[in-house]
Amino acid sequence: MAHSPKIPKVLLGITGSVAAYKTVELIHLLKKFSEVHVVITEAGSRLVPEKELRRASGFPVWKSLFKGSTPIPPGTPSGSHPFAVVPHIEFTRQADLVLIAPASADFMTKAAVGLGNDLLSTLCLYATCPIWMAPAMNVNMWNHPAIRQNHKILRSRGVRFLGPDRGHLACGDVGEGRFVEPTEISFQVETYFKSHGSWRGKRVVVTAGPTQEDIDPVRFITNRSSGKMGYALAQAALNRGAEVTLIHGPTSLAPLTGARTIAVRTAEEMRLEVHKAFQGADYLIMAAAVADYAVKNPAKSKMKKSKGVLSITLRKNPDILGEVLNKKKDHQVVVGFAAETDKLRTHAKAKWAKKPCDLLIANRVGGKDSGFESNHNEILAFSRIFSKPMILKRELKSRLAEKILDIAGKIGETLLPKGSPR
């Protein structure tokens, strides 16, 4: 008789952020693939009715540390089990993921210092499963040095962060601190459960963001790449259990929990790090927007403004993708990117003919709703496993990243294993 697949258990922690009102929607989304149990703080309970959370999850809502106001875990024999006194221990032991959404500034501070003065903070101290947080707060709170330090501390302990996003906030301000949409949180959780471990043992190198080429000590040439596509690809590989090295140019994105991160600035610095990391890689994903040109003779001191026209001589930067293709081993999968403003198919096809990587991802840039600086992208994918370019329509970069890795994984399965003769 076939056994039903195990339904993952999510412990959803709700704290005192205004975004708590979105958690009912989040529960409904999470319930499509998991069992959701809710733990709420006292402040959180002032913002969203517990009866709505109970109706959405189908289980009692937990709030207190103490027996009498906290439900006993289902199936626990009354009065006979030691965990009847401390039910949070047994419940957390069964969880596959602790998701704090929204995570307030107050709760992040508690978690960073290891305070356990309510049920939710105590559960986080006991939990051995992964802990994720989706912060939501005012932009000034998010940028406060204490909160940024707590964010750094929690990441160093393995806590994964979803967001925050940038946009209009409930207080009327605009900036970073916005709660990630429930659909995106749900997608990340579902993807984690579905794919976790599928790439265990694989070594993935991802490049992301722009490079900067000096004009003088205070000016440089760069481009509008935000690094979001590369970071999404690195996160997708982490979701699958891969060992990930992220080589990135200057970005404002938060570091990824679990990735080996190498910060570079110039194309030459990126070139050196890529060649070192590529030696032991199974997958190399070149999502960075590396500058094609650099200033031939950067000034050693600040160039002064003059009335005349200023001319700068540029030289070509090294072709990193072309170089790694010449060194590529049989088992290695190389994914290249082509950013174009027009004639996407024509220009990308020409690049792929010149640099026949295993997978070439072409995306249109220069617009407002896709490509550079956007959360969305739309791409054409060129590969020898396709009879014609595959079109992936406009979608969030996180979702496209999963699809790109699916294609790269299929390509990897067609290549010779390590050590096999040609």
- Radius of gyration (C-alpha) of the chain in whole angstroms: 24
Q: With contact defined as beta carbons under 8 Å apart, do 416 and 331 qualify?
A: yes
- Of 22, 46, 47, 17, nearest in space to 137 by CA: 17
DSSP string, 112-142: HHT---SHHHHHHHH--S-EEEEE---HHHH
Q: Catalytic annotation on 129?
A: no
DSSP string, 207-229: EESB--EEEETTEEE-----SHH
Q: With contact defined as beta carbons under 8 Å apart, do 280 and 332 qualify?
A: no
- Distance, in Å, from the CA atom of 210 to the CA atom of 217, rounded to the nearest integer, reads 18
Go through the chain and tell me how many residues it has.
422
Q: How many CB atoms lie within 10 A of CB 4?
A: 5
Catalytic residue among 124, 129, 171, 357: 171
- Distance, in Å, from the CA atom of 349 to the CA atom of 380, rounded to the nearest integer, reads 10
Q: How many CB atoms lie within 10 A of CB 172?
A: 7
Q: How many CB atoms lie within 10 A of CB 298?
A: 15
- Of 232, 278, 280, nearest in space to 259 by CA: 232
Paired sense of beta strands 243-248 and 203-208, if any = parallel
Provide φ and ψ at 393, rounded to 5°.
-70, 165
Q: With contact defined as beta carbons under 8 Å apart, do 226 and 251 qualify?
A: yes
Q: Which two tokens mark 108?
A: 């992040």
Q: What is the largest CA-CA distance in the chain?
A: 89
CA distances from 168 to 23, 142, 174 (A): 19, 14, 4
Question: Strands of 243-248's sheet, edge to edge?
Answer: 260-263, 243-248, 203-208, 283-286, 333-340, 359-364, 376-382, 390-396
**Residues with a known catalytic role:** 171
